[in-house]
Amino acid sequence: MTDQAENLRQAINNLKNRQLVNKPSISSVAPKRTARVITVTSGKGGVGKTNISINLALSFSELGSRVVILDADFGLANIDVLLGIVPQFTLLDVLTDKKNILEVLTEGPHNIKFISGGSGVEELVKLDSQQVSKFVENMALLDKLADIVIVDTGAGLSENVMSFILAADEVLLVTTPEPTSITDAYALIKMVSNRDMSKKISVVVNKAESSNEANDVLRNLVMVADKFLGVRLEPAGYIMNDSVVTRAVKQQQPFSLVYPKSLAARNIREISEKLIKDGKENQVRQNNGIRGFLNRLVGFIKV
């Protein structure tokens, strides 16, 4: 672990000194492997998206993956609140070139790490091309540090949220059985399909009262998306309405840690196992990593 940290620090020093070289070589710091970027989103707020992001990260970690969460719910970032951890720095410190990526990574439970967003999008728009390039190169070091990067977006159908969705390799859409949540989820799927028909979208139903209810929601969403939008959704699973989730939120602890034998914890493990399995089966699918994600994101935001 010490050797890895030293290698990453050396890579950052190479970035800082690249202006001293006549022909800077990006390949000298570019990772040979790329992280899997999963954007977790929802059509409306209050569906438990952030809670799922955290517990999914923990479950991925238990399965042997190195995981980083990027809290991209700018303005309402609450990964730190749900974990009961106050980060010293945020993504804004990287954007303004005050800190490097290693310095803004906050340690979470069970080896997961997270980056608090701050007011990132607003600052990203203000950067010139050279500053953007430096930011992307710095952040691209996550491809060496993580196997999976979970991007927890804001809720709703705003252009900023859509930018994060469209930039990701794959999307995990969270809904509940409530009619308004389902309607908003479908609206989000429609917006994505209008701009990228090839986007991989998996769906999770949260707060289900029964497995039958959850499976009905999944089946209906898959059917209408296919029939009316020509989009193939992938059911990723469901999480039952479990009282331990609310209790864990009040304790500022992930429910899968404090109540590992609960129904909700079992459900989240099943979802993570399915996503890991799907990822292995689809390894031939192009994975552009955090570098590709950020380059696309900048393209969408700065148009």
Q: How many domains does the chain have?
A: 1
DSSP sequence for 218-257: HHHHHHHIIIII---EEEEEEEE--HHHHHHHHTTS-HHH
How far apart (Å, rounded) are the C-alpha atoms in residues 258 and 261? 9
36-42: strand order across its sheet: 106-107, 113-115, 67-72, 148-153, 36-42, 170-175, 200-208, 233-240
Q: What angle do CA 69, 74, 80 make, to 5 degrees?
A: 50
How far apart (Å, rounded) are the C-alpha atoms in residues 87 and 106? 6
Residue 282 lies in a domain: yes
Query: Looking at residue 280, what is its pLDDT?
Result: 81
Burial of 45 (0-12, 13-18, 19+ CB in 10 A): middle
Q: What SS3 class is residue 33?
A: coil
How far apart (Å, rounded) are the C-alpha atoms in residues 303 and 299? 6
Residue 214 lies in a domain: no
Residue 211 lies in a domain: no
Residue 146 lies in a domain: yes
Mean pLDDT in each 10-residue stretch from start to end of the chain (303 residues)? Answer: 54 47 38 82 93 97 96 76 91 86 94 82 73 87 94 87 90 97 96 91 97 98 96 96 96 96 98 92 69 89 67
Residue 121 lies in a domain: yes
Q: For residue 146, what are the domain limits?
A: 34-169+240-294
Q: What is the CATH number of the domain that holds 113?
A: 3.40.50.300
Residue 17 lies in a domain: no
Return the amino acid letter for 127.
Answer: L
CB 58 within 8 A of CB 103: no
Residue 190 lies in a domain: no
Q: Where are the alpha helices (DSSP H) in 100-178?
A: 101-104, 120-126, 129-139, 142-145, 159-167
Q: What SS3 class is residue 69?
A: strand
Q: Which two tokens stand for residue 101?
A: 């990526």
Query: Looking at residue 167, what is its pLDDT?
Result: 92
**Counting runs of H as helices and runs of E as strands, what totals does the chain give?**
15, 8
Residue 11 lies in a domain: no
